[in-house]
Amino acid sequence: MFQRHGVPRERIDVLRQVPFFDGLSNKHLARIDQHLDEVNVEPGRVLTEQGEGAYEAFIIADGVAEIRKDGKVLRDTDIGELIGEIGILKHSLRSATVVAKTPMRLLVLNANEMSALLREDKKVAERVQENLDRHLEGR
């Protein structure tokens, strides 16, 4: 049930599903987990608002949210999806609105914690940058 250092295996399993963290070891995922807060939200809660400032990213541990751009529904989210990372990594405004459709459990990484994580762990920083570049090229 628990990984070494007390990190629940279930949280490591969720982090393993995040494409931005693809290829990182359990040790690196446990280090990422140290920077996360866990929150539960109710349906209807707005997680991000298009055009607003970006101060945190969300990893979906459970539940479904709807992604909207310019008022149009684009798609629903998946477990393990990272939402809002581009805004905090690129210091830009939110590119979409994301609203909880069901009760959700989220792992939250605020911008300051993301910066600290990337400063303290070069391997994580390199992997995140590689995956960000690949993600942006695919847009």
In a domain, residue 128? The reply is: no
What residue ranges in the chain does DSSP mark as E strands?
A: 37-41, 46-48, 56-62, 65-69, 72-76, 82-83, 97-100, 104-110
In a domain, residue 90? The reply is: yes
In a domain, residue 15? The reply is: yes
Count of domains in the chain? 1
* Rounded alpha-carbon distances, angstroms, from residue 89 to 6, 57, 110, 131: 28, 9, 11, 12
Span 78-111, pLDDT tens digits: 988 888 888 888 889 999 999 999 999 999 989 8
* Rounded alpha-carbon distances, angstroms, from residue 133 to 73, 89, 127: 25, 11, 10
| Average pLDDT per 10 consecutive residues for the chain, totaling 139 residues | 59 85 86 90 97 93 95 92 86 93 94 85 80 67
- At residue 135, the pLDDT reads 64
Range of the domain at 51: 4-111
**Domain of 29: which CATH number?**
2.60.120.10
In a domain, residue 127? The reply is: no
Question: pTM of this prediction?
Answer: 0.81
